[in-house]
Structure 1
Amino acid sequence: MSFGKYEEAKQLFGDRVQTLRKERGITQEQLAESINKSVEHISYIERGERAPSFETILDIAEALKVSVPYLMNVTPQVEISTNFITDLQTPVVPPSLVQPVEEPVNTTKERRSDLERLQTALEAIQELQNLANEYGINDVFQDNGGKVLQVLILLGLRISPGREGNDAVDAEGNEYELKTINKLLSRSVTTHHHLNLDILAKYRAVKAWYIAVYEGILLKAVYKIDPSSLETKFGYWESRILGGMESINNPKIPLGLIEKEGEQVYPKQDNQPTQGKLPIE
């Protein structure tokens, strides 16, 4: 697919979403809330300025109560590749749009300086990894390991050995579900790629959930929430599984629900965080 056709495909899909949304009397705010995205994200899609992920396409189809093929039934003015969804997510930039580099980006001196900075950073990362090992995190770059380490230290927890995901345990052996979210990218907490009844039972059995909310790499808040406060979600997921689904692909918990039902344990009102600093209590 050429770059021009790719841009047209995005616009056609955005028009299709907007048309179906308005036909059903749904506002952008309502659609955004139903798929746990921001209103700005929906607006970008409808204006053809952002290509949705396949997961978002599935969520939009479900929210609009249409099938994915029906949602994707756009009417282009030009022929569009049969690999529409793949092309929609991965635009190809034509070589003609890329300006050739006439000289090196960095001088030898600049590259040497960058290498020295990199070496210093790697030494610090190795020290960070050594600390992470003590908390049961084998790779600070995997599964938000660095953020998880920060939250574990704040809460006085360790990763629970032999358990799946970011399960944590305190000194008394109580188990917790630990999640992180970057609210610049999403307004919902992801759970499990293949949620089944066994995992759901574990979600209900932990002492509490801790949800750490980030903006980029800056920790903004940590919420503690009792599993009973999430029972509306748990019950709905359970009904879907019992209704014939072997598992559910990564159901989400809206950040708004966490903020409403959870107890903010960091920062406390008299202990506001500063950039890069954590409180010692």
Structure 2
Amino acid sequence: MDCGAYRQIFGNKMRHLRQEQGITQEQLAESIGKTTEHISFLERGERSPSFEVILEIAKALNVSVSHLMNIDQPDDYSETLNTLIAAPVAPSLVDPVEEPITTKDERISDVERLSSAFEGIREMQKLADEYGIHDILQDNGGKVLQVLILLGLRISPGREGNDAIDADGNEYELKTLNRALNKNAGVTTHHHLNKDILHKYRSVKAWYIAIYEGIELIEIYKVYPSILEEKFQEWEKKLENQDSINNPKIPMRLVRQGELMYSKYTNSPKQTKLDI
């Protein structure tokens, strides 16, 4: 069996485990710090996962790496499927379906709804372009746009990730966290954090960390690097013996030591200067 076939088997197993737990591609992507498109590529067998991604996927799906990578032997669900294919149920044993689960009219209606929704998305993208976000459907672009507008920031040109600047040119690190995925999850940093990235983390004016519940913004905290220094020192010590660290997290106890800039319950964001 060639590599492409094994990639497809891995993708099928990954998709089955994800769907079995009721996790969407977007949720899985956010939990491992990848894009939804990347998850889709993996599940279709069009891309090979790195070792680091395999570890993150296994953790997110709450399975062992050996179980996730056991692609030589079919799982129980594959055997069940093969049984059903080999011995289909006789039509006389089941009640006929009165109508399709999704009718043609319903499909047309959904297409029209999607078309209508995209008109709003296109308008939102025009606004996002003004803030330096070129795809609001990728990498939490819509959420980042919301944070930028509330705080009066813009994406910093030529910088990696979601770095932002204010009217005075001060630079900030932007992070979003969806607590609906994991109430106790820390804030994702970087999948290959090295000494250069750590230096950048220390040198920004502050970190803005937005806490979401699904798509609903709950809070935004302004966290100065001095608050995060204990984690920076911990990572720095690890980097003495290795080139990079795979996605270290910032605990919420440190985030909440920062200044509360926005709360859903007060709805009064503290903005920086808006005229850039």
- Does TM, scored on the shorter chain, surpass 0.5? yes
Instruction: Place the TM-score, normalised by the shorter chain, in its bin.
Output: 0.5 to 0.7
In structure 2, C-alpha distance between the alignment counterparts of 1:212 and 1:225, rounded to whole Å: 11
Cross-structure match for 2:146 = 150
Instruction: Say yes or no: does 1:162 pair with 2:158.
Output: yes
2:190 maps to amino acid = H
In structure 1, C-alpha distance between the alignment counterparts of 2:270 and 2:239, rounded to whole Å: 42
Residue of structure 2 aligned with 1:250, choices 247, 250, 253:
247
Mapped contact 2:206–2:224 kept (Cα < 8 A)? yes
Q: Relative to 1, partners in 2 of residues 1:92 and 1:247: Cα closer, same or farther, differing over 3 Å?
A: farther
Cross-structure match for 1:213 = 211
Task: State the shift of 1:256 in Å.
Answer: 2.4
Instruction: Say yes or no: does 1:124 pair with 2:95.
Output: no
CA offsets per residue over residues 64-102 of structure 1, 9 Å max, x none?
xxxxxxxx7xxxxxxxxx9523359x9846424999995
Q: Relative to 1, partners in 2 of residues 1:157 and 1:112: Cα closer, same or farther, differing over 3 Å?
A: same
Cross-structure match for 2:174 = 178
Task: State the shift of 1:265 in Å.
Answer: 0.8
Cross-structure match for 1:86 = 69
Q: Relative to 1, partners in 2 of residues 1:272 and 1:85: Cα closer, same or farther, differing over 3 Å?
A: same
Q: Relative to 1, partners in 2 of residues 1:107 and 1:136: Cα closer, same or farther, differing over 3 Å?
A: same
In structure 2, C-alpha distance between the alignment counterparts of 1:246 and 1:214, rounded to whole Å: 32
Q: Relative to 1, partners in 2 of residues 1:235 and 1:56: Cα closer, same or farther, differing over 3 Å?
A: farther
Instruction: Say yes or no: does 1:238 pair with 2:236.
Output: yes
Instruction: Say yes or no: does 1:55 pair with 2:56.
Output: yes
Q: Relative to 1, partners in 2 of residues 1:248 and 1:280: Cα closer, same or farther, differing over 3 Å?
A: closer
In structure 2, C-alpha distance between the alignment counterparts of 1:227 and 1:235, rounded to whole Å: 11
Mapped contact 2:219–2:261 kept (Cα < 8 A)? yes
CA offsets per residue over residues 227-262 of structure 1, 9 Å max, x none?
0000000000001001x2001111100122211x11
Q: Relative to 1, partners in 2 of residues 1:91 and 1:198: Cα closer, same or farther, differing over 3 Å?
A: farther
SS in 2 for 1:172: coil
In structure 1, C-alpha distance between the alignment counterparts of 2:199 and 2:76, rounded to whole Å: 41
Q: Relative to 1, partners in 2 of residues 1:92 and 1:268: Cα closer, same or farther, differing over 3 Å?
A: closer
RMSD value, Cα: 3.5
1:252 maps to amino acid = K
TM-score (ref. length: structure 1):
0.64
Mapped contact 1:167–1:175 kept (Cα < 8 A)? yes
1:245 maps to amino acid = Q
In structure 1, C-alpha distance between the alignment counterparts of 2:150 and 2:261, rounded to whole Å: 10
Q: Relative to 1, partners in 2 of residues 1:248 and 1:123: Cα closer, same or farther, differing over 3 Å?
A: same
Task: State the shift of 1:55 in Å.
Answer: 3.1
In structure 1, C-alpha distance between the alignment counterparts of 2:137 and 2:252, rounded to whole Å: 24
Mapped contact 1:54–1:85 kept (Cα < 8 A)? no
Mapped contact 1:196–1:241 kept (Cα < 8 A)? yes
2:148 maps to amino acid = L
SS in 1 for 2:239: helix
In the TM superposition, what are the counterparts of 1:12-27 in structure 2 within 5 Å? none
Mapped contact 1:192–1:250 kept (Cα < 8 A)? yes
SS in 2 for 1:178: strand
In structure 2, C-alpha distance between the alignment counterparts of 1:204 and 1:279, rounded to whole Å: 23
In structure 1, C-alpha distance between the alignment counterparts of 2:100 and 2:202, rounded to whole Å: 57
Task: State the shift of 1:157 in Å.
Answer: 0.4
1:125 maps to amino acid = I
Q: Relative to 1, partners in 2 of residues 1:280 and 1:177: Cα closer, same or farther, differing over 3 Å?
A: closer
Q: Relative to 1, partners in 2 of residues 1:56 and 1:83: Cα closer, same or farther, differing over 3 Å?
A: closer
Cross-structure match for 2:193 = 195
Structure 1 spans left out of the alignment, 5+ residues:
1-5, 11-52, 60-71, 73-81
Q: Relative to 1, partners in 2 of residues 1:91 and 1:183: Cα closer, same or farther, differing over 3 Å?
A: farther
Task: State the shift of 1:104 in Å.
Answer: 2.7
Residue of structure 2 aligned with 1:105, choices 101, 105, 113:
101
Mapped contact 1:209–1:224 kept (Cα < 8 A)? yes
In structure 2, C-alpha distance between the alignment counterparts of 1:155 and 1:280, rounded to whole Å: 4
In structure 2, C-alpha distance between the alignment counterparts of 1:57 and 1:233, rounded to whole Å: 25
SS in 2 for 1:152: helix
